[in-house]
């Protein structure tokens, strides 16, 4: 239910806040008092398009807030909230919409900013607003499908069909995407093959680039490295006229041996000198071998080969705008694409077979759905026709028409259209051809009454439902509205005392002057004020009129 509505700077409304209760709420007031403005504010809160002209003159923005408390959350509504990342706790939704004078909008649900399209979708699951044609959900094509698919005789068949249809669409999409990808790959086959061969012929190996760079660095530093080992050998072997390090260490060893004869503390040094001699001999062999090997490997042709390969790798990296490791990855990807082209026919046959099977299952379920719909609508049409008799359509008839679809569609093998015969002898016409908003509202009232218990939309708003009716017919409409309010929250604008007198909550809409400007206000009426307002609706403020109003309200309490 909608628990609270607040509106600021909207047309004739400067500021108002209304608290609602469960059951049936009625809004009454003189013609032009602002009742339609109030309904318009609710419509905008639920996603209707808003013009900046609705911002009250002298102000920069309009703000409309609504608090919705739901006993249960339908699966479609829950999915929409989840898809929009709207936090949802305690089954409460707080909707806020701000309309700026410059035409911009700000929309929030539970403080989460959302686009207008999301608000409209969510609003359709919260409220059915029946008034002027642009607000009539009954005139929307999808409404007929939703209503018929919710019939007890149809619901199970519809769910099976819709599941199989989604499977069929998914399989067909996979096949279509495969065909597009395959066609694209075939067009690029020569280029893919050239690129693959270009990379494959390089025979790149993991981390090869770094290894080549290190090797190139070594080869390009031959002169410096040879000089280093040559200098080491010169020191070890001794320069011309000088004793070698080996001879000097031997001499030191002999002196230590002599010293040892007199002092045993020299013994460890003798061992160290022997180790140094061994180490020096190994270092000398290493340097000699290093010089020999370096001179052998310092082949200019080999250096050129490394330099050339590095240059090719750099060119490929620039060409494909990637790193060395990505070149190897790209080679694998190109190979997979070539393989995919070669195996496309066998892969396609599997996808095509799946599409055919899902389509076959879908068509079987579509036929069953069509049968269930035709069976269910026979009963549905008869009950609506009977309800129409009570709501002012004497001799009128209701018919659910089926329009064949050229192929499988989200609706099945047919789309659904509601047609009405409002007078005996007249042809059946689509609802859109009916001019009266009041007639359409009463027809929706009939449908909602029939579908009580199957309808997931918790709040119903009726405007113009009493247009052109009175007397006994008004009582029948009132009775249907009151019955519907037992399972829904019903809000209704009415000029008829028969309807106003049975409401659980009564609000009077009126105009007044404030700071020499006209503003519209809404007043929740006490029991005494209800008597006065219904007396006014009876056309008099006499004692007799007030007595009649008291009786009408008393009769409601006794129901």
Q: Is the pTM of this model over 0.85?
A: no
Q: Residues with Cβ < 8 Å from 509, sequence gap 6 or more?
A: 27, 28, 29, 33, 34, 35, 38, 520, 521, 522
Distance CA 108, CA 416 (A): 34
| Domains of the chain and any CATH numbers | 2-150+391-525 (3.40.50.300), 193-341 (no CATH)
Pairwise pLDDT comparison (411 vs 436), residue with the higher score: 411
57 phi, psi to nearest 5 deg: -55, 135
Residues 364-385: pLDDT tens digits? 999 999 999 999 999 999 988 8
Residue 342 pLDDT level (bands cut at 50, 70, 90):
confident
**DSSP for residue 60:** S
User: Is the pLDDT confidence value at 30 over 80?
Assistant: yes
- Using 50, 70 and 90 to split pLDDT, how confident is the model at 7? very high
Total Cβ atoms within 10 A of residue 273? 19
More reliable by pLDDT, 405 or 455? 405
Looking at residue 134, what is its pLDDT?
45
With beta carbons less than 8 A apart as the criterion, state whether 492 and 26 touch.
yes
Nearest to 251 by CA among 238, 240, 262, 264: 238
CB neighbourhood size of 523 (10 A) = 15
| Helices and strands (H, E) in the chain, number of each type | 18, 15
Per-residue confidence at 165, pLDDT binned at 50, 70, 90? very high
Q: What is the pLDDT of residues 499-527, one digit of tens each?
A: 888 899 999 999 998 888 999 999 999 98
Sign of the C-alpha dihedral computed for residues 316, 322, 323 and 325 taken in this order: negative
Please spell the DSSP secondary structure of 178-237, one letter per residue: HHHHHHHHHHTHHHHHHHHHHHHTTT--TTHHHHHHHHHHHHTTHHHHHHHHHHHHHHHH
Share of the chain above pLDDT 90, in %: 27
Give how far Cα 192 sits from Cα of 130, 134, 259, Å: 61, 56, 83
526-550 as b/e: b if 16+ CB within 10 A: eeeebbbbbbbbbeeeeeebbebbb
Per DSSP, the three-state class of 406 is strand
Measured CA to CA, the distance from residue 153 to residue 375 in angstroms comes to 8
**Strand 13-19, strand 459-462: pairing:** unpaired
């Amino acid at each position: 239910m909608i628990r609270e509505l607040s509106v600021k700077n909207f047309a004739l409304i400067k500021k108002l806040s209304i608290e609602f209760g469960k059951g049936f709420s009625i809004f009454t007031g003189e013609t032009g008092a602002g009742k339609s403005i109030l309904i318009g504010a609710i419509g905008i809160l639920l996603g209707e398009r808003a013009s900046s002209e609705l911002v009250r003159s002298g102000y920069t923005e309009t703000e409309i807030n609504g608090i919705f408390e739901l006993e249960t959350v339908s699966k479609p509504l829950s999915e929409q909230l989840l898809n929009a990342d709207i936090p949802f706790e305690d089954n409460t939704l707080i909707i806020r919409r701000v309309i700026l004078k410059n035409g911009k909008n700000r929309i929030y649900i539970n403080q989460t900013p959302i686009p207008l399209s999301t608000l409209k979708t969510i609003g359709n699951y919260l409220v059915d607003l029946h008034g002027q044609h642009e607000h009539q959900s009954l005139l929307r094509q999808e409404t007929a499908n939703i209503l018929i698919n919710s019939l007890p005789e149809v619901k199970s068949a519809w769910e099976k069909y819709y599941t199989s249809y989604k499977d069929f669409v998914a399989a067909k999409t996979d096949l279509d995407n495969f065909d597009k990808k395959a066609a694209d790959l075939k067009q690029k086959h020569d280029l893919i093959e050239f690129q693959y061969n270009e990379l494959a012929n390089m025979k790149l190996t993991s981390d090869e680039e770094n290894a080549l760079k290190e090797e190139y660095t070594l080869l390009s530093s031959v002169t410096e490295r040879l000089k280093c080992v040559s200098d080491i050998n010169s020191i070890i072997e001794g320069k011309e006229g000088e004793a070698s390090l080996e001879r000097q260490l031997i001499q030191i060893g002999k002196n230590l041996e002599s010293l040892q004869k007199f002092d045993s503390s020299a013994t460890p040094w003798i061992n160290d000198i022997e180790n140094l001699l061994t180490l020096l001999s190994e270092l000398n062999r290493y340097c000699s071998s290093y010089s020999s090997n370096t001179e052998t490997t310092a082949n200019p042709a080999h250096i050129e080969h490394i330099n050339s390969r590095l240059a090719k790798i750099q060119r490929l990296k620039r060409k494909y705008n990637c790193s060395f490791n990505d070149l190897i990855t790209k080679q694998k990807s190109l190979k997979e694409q070539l393989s995919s082209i070669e195996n496309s026919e066998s892969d396609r046959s599997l996808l095509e077979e799946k599409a055919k099977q899902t389509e076959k299952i879908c068509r079987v379920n579509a036929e069953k759905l069509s049968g269930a719909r035709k069976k269910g609508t026979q009963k549905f049409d008869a009950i609506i026709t009977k309800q129409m008799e009570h709501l002012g359509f004497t001799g009128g008839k209701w018919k659910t028409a089926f329009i064949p679809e050229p192929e499988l569609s989200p609706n099945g093998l047919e789309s659904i259209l509601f047609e009405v015969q409002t007078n005996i002898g007249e042809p059946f016409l689509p609802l859109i051809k009916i001019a009266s908003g009041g007639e359409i509202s009463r027809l929706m009232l009939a449908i909602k009454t029939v579908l009580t218990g199957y309808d997931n939309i918790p709040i119903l708003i009726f405007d113009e439902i009493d247009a052109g009716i009175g007397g006994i017919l008004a009582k029948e409409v009132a009775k249907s509205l009151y019955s519907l309010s037992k399972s829904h929250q019903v809000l209704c604008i009415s000029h008829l005392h028969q309807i106003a007198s049975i409401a659980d909550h009564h609000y009077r809409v009126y105009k007044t002057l404030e700071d020499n400007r006209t503003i519209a206000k809404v007043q929740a009426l006490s029991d005494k004020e209800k008597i006065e307002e219904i007396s006014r609706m009876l056309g008099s403020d006499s004692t007799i009129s007030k007595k009649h109003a008291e009786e009408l309200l008393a009769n409601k309490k006794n129901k």
